[in-house]
Amino acid sequence: MLLPTCHATIPAARWHQIIEPLTAAAKVELWLYCPVTAEPMISGNKWMKLQYHINLIQQQQYRGFVTFGGAFSNHLAASATAAKLAGVSATAYVRADTIDPDNPTLRYCQQQGMLLLATDRATYRRRQQTDFLAILAKRHPNCLIIPEGGSSTLGAQGIASADLGNTPAGPANILATATASGGTLAGLIMANSQATKMNNQVKDIIGLAVLNDSGLHDKVAQLLPACFAMAAPWRIIATATGHRYAKCPGEHIEFCCQFTARHGIAIEPIYTGRALYKLYQMIAAGEFAPGSRISFFHTGGMQGLAGLLYRKLISFKHYQLLSAAAAD
């Protein structure tokens, strides 16, 4: 595996202990790990997943990169920002029939200089196939291909720089994160495997899957170099089944608004809100032993709120409440 020689930046982060009647009743501690980035569009897990890719582009003097995402993708917004800051070109294959000029995410990406190519679903499904990637390599010479979500082994290595296991109260024994393309979960597994060597291993790493993707377990495993694959205890838990990804059930939106109002930390209903909602259900069901210390990764994603409002999936009132807290 090609490792960049530049060091990844260890992200600055804030910790928040979340105290609720629920956590008190279950006798568990819940901590939120919130990375702090100067650029709100590269918040949460985004810079961690992109940093090694950008380093590699600069070291190998690539012209830029090609990547993939849905029409409201946080990854596209983040990678467009990163490309502009790094002064490299960015092209994105967007899962959409047309590039809607009023879509707030796509408009933002174009403003950063990203070239957007509308891609039908059948073609988009080929985004990981070797023959398709070979065609893209020819079509975009001297460009790095960054997988959807930034979820490559390099992306996972960037996530492994997050010190999620060490809360201000001491080591966590459970790590949890929203998971979609798998890079974030793979990074936590890598970091935990490294911690194993220092006898500081967490007991349970939980990926709360926001997509119904039966291949996710294999995707995560494939991102792990062989030395990591066996070391860490990890599992994937489905969040609300029966609700499609990016459709916001009312209870998730309410949960996000109430959580944000109570704790002053904004969450959104596609990733962090959906995952935390499930984690709360697991705590309530007594799935964690008393004394457990859970560390939850706040992976950002607040740019997606504008797209939810645009598609009328959240009300203006909810949008205002959540985005105002996000801007604090």
Ligand X SMILES: Cc1ncc(COP(=O)(O)O)c(C=O)c1O
Catalytic positions, written as ranges: 73
Q: Which of 4, 70, 182, 307 binds ligand X (CB under 6 A)?
A: 182
Q: Is 44 in the site for ligand X (CB under 6 A)?
A: yes
Minimum distance from CB of 68 to ligand X (Å)?
12
Minimum distance from CB of 164 to ligand X (Å)?
13
Sign of CA dihedral 11, 177, 29, 318: positive
Q: How far apart are CA 78 and CA 151, in angstroms?
A: 13
Q: Is 147 in the site for ligand X (CB under 6 A)?
A: no
CB contact at 8 A, 151 and 78:
no
* Other CB atoms within 10 A of residue 144 CB: 20
Q: Is 300 in the site for ligand X (CB under 6 A)?
A: yes
Nearer to ligand X, 75 or 293 (CB): 75
Q: Is 183 in the site for ligand X (CB under 6 A)?
A: yes
Q: Is 274 in the site for ligand X (CB under 6 A)?
A: no
Q: How far apart are CA 163 and CA 154, in angstroms?
A: 17
Q: Is 149 in the site for ligand X (CB under 6 A)?
A: yes
Minimum distance from CB of 8 to ligand X (Å)?
16
CA atoms within 13 A on the CB side of 112: 26
Q: How far apart are CA 204 and CA 214, in angstroms?
A: 21
Q: How far apart are CA 27 and CA 120, in angstroms?
A: 49
Minimum distance from CB of 155 to ligand X (Å)?
7
Q: How far apart are CA 262 and CA 215, in angstroms?
A: 36
Q: Which stretch binds ligand X (CB under 6 A): 96-104, 138-146, 167-175, 293-301?
A: 293-301
- Bridge partners of residue 93, in order along the sequence: 68, 117
Q: Is 79 in the site for ligand X (CB under 6 A)?
A: no
Q: Is 70 in the site for ligand X (CB under 6 A)?
A: no
Residues contributing to the site for ligand X (CB under 6 A): 44-45, 74-75, 149, 151, 178-185, 271, 299-301
